[in-house]
Amino acid sequence: MNKKSESLNISYFPYWWEAAEPKPAIHDLPSGTQDVVIVGAGYTGLSAALTLAKSGLSVVVLDTQLPGFGASSRNGGMISNLLKPGLSGLMAKYGIERGEAIYRESLNSVDFVKKLVGDEEIECDLNLKGRLYPAVLEKHLDAMKKETALKQKHLGIEDEIIGKGQCQEDIASDLYVGGFRQFDTGGLHPAKFVEGLASAVEKNGGLILAPCTAKAIKKKSGTYLIDTSLGTINCDKVVIATNGYSGGVYPSLEKKVIPIGSTMIATEKLSKEMVSSLFPTGRMIADSRKMLSYFRPSPDGTRVLLGGRPTVLPSTPDVQARALQKRLADIFPQLRDVAVSHVWTGNVAYSFDALPAIGHDEGIYFALGYCGSGVAMSGYLGHKVALKILKSSEGDTAFDGLPFESKAYYQGQPWFLPIAMAGYKLRDTFGF
Ligand SMILES: Cc1cc2nc3c(=O)[nH]c(=O)nc-3n(C[C@H](O)[C@H](O)[C@H](O)COP(=O)(O)OP(=O)(O)OC[C@H]3O[C@@H](n4cnc5c(N)ncnc54)[C@H](O)[C@@H]3O)c2cc1C
């Protein structure tokens, strides 16, 4: 793909790369048997590598492109402490105690990411100004009220339900009927976070090889041979950390995660006064639609960044940019004439039960399926996978042992997505 739109003068590279463009990591293949090879150098793989390297194990992380080239350097940088099924959904399915424990993992993931950034002194514009979930329909607000009360009762989470007027304290838009505020979360610069994690891995003796594609994994007398584009690596353990970019190296996982594209735009540079008038509290924002929009000010306060799935059918970056620009203008009519400077897409990965998955299968470990909310969870589960390899009981999670479902109708090609998206769009419009 060209780097830039000819007609719209929009860059097709993530806005984040202006400050922290992923760079190749070129080295010779290591000789001898490595303790662990990790496939995928996003937050999951890098966080796992960091924990393993700090414990003195020899660890190699491969990325078919560049470190963080997947979702990790492209996302909205919004730190989430929600799980898609909600506390009510988890308690209905797994009972009160297990449901609470599973949900608590999302809180743990936020604590983990804050500590990681602090411990490793990663300069990634971390802010903890909180998050607002504005409701588009009264029906959504009613559901938020119930879920918020449940989270308060069972987990002591102090989210705040607010009405339309209070919503406007956080966002200069009259599109929303109310919503809820979260404290203790916030945002970071995703590509700077990748850069900081990668350098922490290297500082602790881990080896990153990128570009380097893992093509096949073969078992040989208790160890593994990883066939890569640079040659073969021997290792004792393997971690699959490929999330929405899983494709071919470990086919049984591929049938359990559904890659879904998510696209973001950045506006042209605006005045800081303008941006802070749109986001007076600087909170991260994600609305209540099924085809949701998530948006935020850039860390330097000079742009608005907005993401979502812009079209039901696949389309060109220019078409997607126009669709997201229209969404932005619907939220902030003040930005109707503002140009878009960047448009880019990345893949998230859904699982069939809308929960992340962590575990191992015949000595091959994995953590993936963050369902679009992985800024905190992926690094957390990468760390947990590493602790499992180290045989530490601290590697236990409430996700352990949950079924990681596959479906007979799905072989890794999500043919049903346009139908599902069209259904979501109808629900968002008519509220049924
Ligand atoms: C546009 C967008 C916006 C998002 N916004 C948010 C947000 O605001 N908040 C939030 O919580 N989450 C968000 N997410 C989700 C979040 O970014 C992801 O959950 C998280 O980055 C997943 O990290 P990961 O390391 O598991 O996967 P990735 O970062 O996707 O890394 C997987 C890597 O595996 C590599 N790979 C695949 N196959 C091979 C192979 N065979 N050999 C070698 N390497 C291989 C790929 O090249 C890729 O770099 C967003 C995602 C996208 C795409």
- Do strands 257-267 and 364-368 pair parallel, antiparallel, or not at all (unpaired)? unpaired
Task: Give the pair of three-digit tokens for residue 199.
Answer: 């350098």
DSSP 248: S
Average pLDDT per run of 10 along the chain, which is 432 residues long? Answer: 70 97 96 97 98 98 97 97 95 98 98 98 97 95 97 96 94 96 96 98 98 95 94 97 91 90 97 98 94 95 95 88 96 96 96 96 92 97 98 97 88 80 75 66
Beta strands 223-228; 284-286: pairing state = unpaired
Give the model's pLDDT for residue 339.
Answer: 96
- Tally of CA atoms within 13 A in the half-sphere of 18 that contains its CB: 14
Nearest atom, ligand 1, residue 346 CA: 53
Q: What's the CA gap between 199 and 349, in Å, rounded?
A: 26
Give pLDDT, residue 421: 78
Answer whether 298 contacts ligand 1 (Cβ < 6 A): no
User: Of the residues 224, 243, 257, 384, which should be mutated to test ligand 1's pocket, given the most ligand atoms within 8 Å of the CB?
Assistant: 243
Question: Given this model, what pLDDT does residue 6 score?
Answer: 63
pLDDT tens per residue across span 362-399? 779 999 999 999 999 999 999 999 999 999 999 999 99
What was the pLDDT predicted at 1?
52
Please tell me the predicted confidence (pLDDT) of residue 390: 98
Q: From the alpha carbon of 248, which atom of ligand 1 is closest?
A: 41
| Tokens representing residue 263 in the block | 């696209």
Ligand 1 pocket: which of 13, 15, 23, 63 to mutate (most atoms <8 Å of CB)? 63
Closest to 404 (Cα-Cα) out of 347, 355, 348: 355
pLDDT of residue 41: 98
Looking at residue 7, its pLDDT comes to 67
CA of 2 to the centre of ligand 1 (A): 22
pTM of the prediction?
0.96
Nearest alpha-carbon partner for 404 in 371, 370, 349, 357: 357
| 44 Cα to the center of ligand 1, angstroms | 8
Closest CA to 75 of 208, 280, 244, 279: 244
Reduced to 3 states (helix: H, G, I; strand: E, B; else coil), residue 6 is coil
Question: Collapsing DSSP states into helix, strand and coil, what is residue 117?
Answer: helix
Report d(CA 55, CA 23) in Å as an integer. Answer: 26
What single-letter DSSP state applies at residue 422?
H
Query: HSE-up of 97 (CA within 13 Å, CB side)?
Result: 0
Residue 297 has a CB neighbour count (10 Å cut-off) of 23
CA of 271 to the centre of ligand 1 (A): 31
Question: Which option is the CATH number for 15-419: 3.20.20.80, 1.20.1260.10, 3.40.50.2300, 3.50.50.60?
Answer: 3.50.50.60
311 C-alpha to ligand 1 centroid (Å): 21
Range list of β-strands (E), 64-169: 78-79, 131-135, 160-163
Residues 12 and 54: beta-carbon distance below 8 Å:
no
Q: Is 356 in the pocket of ligand 1 (CB under 6 A)?
A: no
**Ligand 1 proximity of 370 Cβ (cutoff 6 Å):** yes
Residue of 12, 64, 65, 344 with the most ligand 1 atoms within 8 Å of its CB, for mutation:
64
Span 57-114, pLDDT tens digits? 999 999 999 999 999 999 999 998 999 999 999 999 999 999 999 999 999 999 999 9
Where do the structural domains in the chain lie, given as residue ranges?
A: 15-419
